[in-house]
Copies of this chain bind each other. A is one copy, B any other.
Amino acid sequence: MSVRVGILGATGAVGQRFVQLLEDHPTFEIVVLTASPESAGERYRNAAKWRVDTPIPDEVAAMRVRETAVDAIPDVDLLFSSLPSGVAAEIEPELCRAGYVVSSNSSNERMAADVPLTIPEVNADHLDLIDTQREARDWDGALVKNPNCSTITMVPTLAALDEFGLSRVHVSTLQAVSGAGYSGVTSMEILDNVLPHIGGEEEKMETESKKLLGDVTDGELSLHDVEVAASCNRVPSLDGHLENVFAELSEDPDAEEIHEALTEFEGIDLRSAPERPIHVFDDPERPQPRLDRMRGKGMQISAGGLRETPDGVQYNCLAHNTIRGAAGASILNGELLANEGWV
């Protein structure tokens, strides 16, 4: 049974990842690609400066790009969005009002109380907010968000540890340049250097985590009371965010129990989901971005360097930021929406 999908903002870095990841998808079929007005009418192969390391799929290369506008989009079952957040803030609501179901990677509305912000393995049940959303906004469609790439890397590990009473988190990130988009970080900024600040990133990690770990009951969201303090850095790697997490726990599990909680954290039966969401390395030198970002086709999170601390545990975690942290995250949410009958 085929699901007809469109990609909003298909020519950018994340848009290209959508195209790449959907190439062999058994049920999702790309039927429309949009971009800014200047590219409208061009073939995708010309509109997109293709920089992904596998060739453009032939049938997509030949498709003509449309403008990102409600009346330019045909009838499809599902839209993926990797629009700049300013553009997304305008058009996504229009599309939902017009009846489209949108699985979006853009940062607007992520913290709205009636917009599901989901990682399928963590809080699939937050899709219940769609009913709340439709009622409140008088929409026929639906808007579902995935979190920021740096948040996704950490939150599944926090969800796995929450059984031990997660109360406070200090986290430092070492984020790859692709997280800023193709032109986001110049070479003169980052060669022989590190950037200690990524605008808005720390706040995203601090707030999104509370929502993802929160609870939805009777269509109402309550945030988790964990306190997260984040420090975000850009480093000269291409893909893969590495994060150093210090988690304060109210209980006192030993290293083995923590190891098991992470390793046994339950997966979800969706096409793009890895069998196990989290792989734990015993070798303290792993995970490393270049060696481990492609585990589980870029969808598995790696952890390592577990050490007990006086008040909890410290460890490192890693995910591929443009797959698990962006395009792959939206696709996984799309698969969840399809699976639960929203598409």
Contacts and interface: CB of A to CB of B under 8 A. Distances in A.
Contact of A233 (B168, B174, B186): B174
A interface residue count range (under 10 / 10 to 19 / 20 to 34 / 35 or more): 35 or more
A168 B312 CA distance: 13
Nearest to A235: B235
Contact of A195 (B183, B193, B288, B307): B288
Interface stretch (A62-70, A71-79, A236-244, A331-339): A236-244
A14 to B, nearest CB: 13
A229 B309 contact: yes
A5 to B, nearest CB: 26
Contacts of A21: none
A309 to B, nearest CB: 5
Contacts of A304: 196
Main secondary structure of the interface of A (DSSP, over half): mixed
Contact of A187 (B170, B189, B229): B189
A193 B293 CA distance: 10
A244 B286 CA distance: 21
Contacts of A300: none
Given A172-B244, A236-B236, A290 B182 contact: no
A305 B197 CA distance: 8
Interface string A156-179: 000000000000101010100110
Nearest to A232: B244
A189 to B, nearest CB: 7
A311 B246 CA distance: 15
A33 B188 CA distance: 24
B188 A289 contact: no
Contact of A285 (B184, B197, B238): B197
A194 B51 contact: no
Interface of A: 13, 51, 53, 168, 170, 172, 174, 177-178, 182-197, 202, 227, 229, 231, 233, 235-238, 242, 244, 246, 284-291, 294, 304-305, 307, 309-311, 314, 316
